[in-house]
Amino acid sequence: MQKIISITGMHCQHCSAAVTKALEALPGVSSVSVSLEQGQAVLDAGTNSDAALRAAIEDIGFDVTAIK
């Protein structure tokens, strides 16, 4: 299912690259697109829970403010 994740704390392209990598590391995730400018990740999350998506991002030091 497509999810849109709002993320704070990304300040350069290495940040958005790190978030992309962390999300792509989750099983079943595909089509990850992270926008530094918008502070947002759009992805097909497969069967991953919102909690799992949140943990993947927070574990590498960014904050999740919303998952829709």
Residues that bind ligand 9UX (CB under 6 A): 11-12, 14-15
The count of other CB atoms within 10 Å of the CB of residue 43 is: 22
Nearer to ligand 9UX, 14 or 21 (CB): 14
Question: What is the rounded distance in angstroms from the CA atom of residue 1 to the CA atom of residue 13?
Answer: 26
For the CB of residue 11, give the shortest distance to ligand 9UX in the complex, in Å: 4
Show Cβ contacts of residue 54 under 8 Å, excluding neighbours closer than 6 positions: 5, 64, 67
For the CB of residue 8, give the shortest distance to ligand 9UX in the complex, in Å: 12
For the CB of residue 54, give the shortest distance to ligand 9UX in the complex, in Å: 18
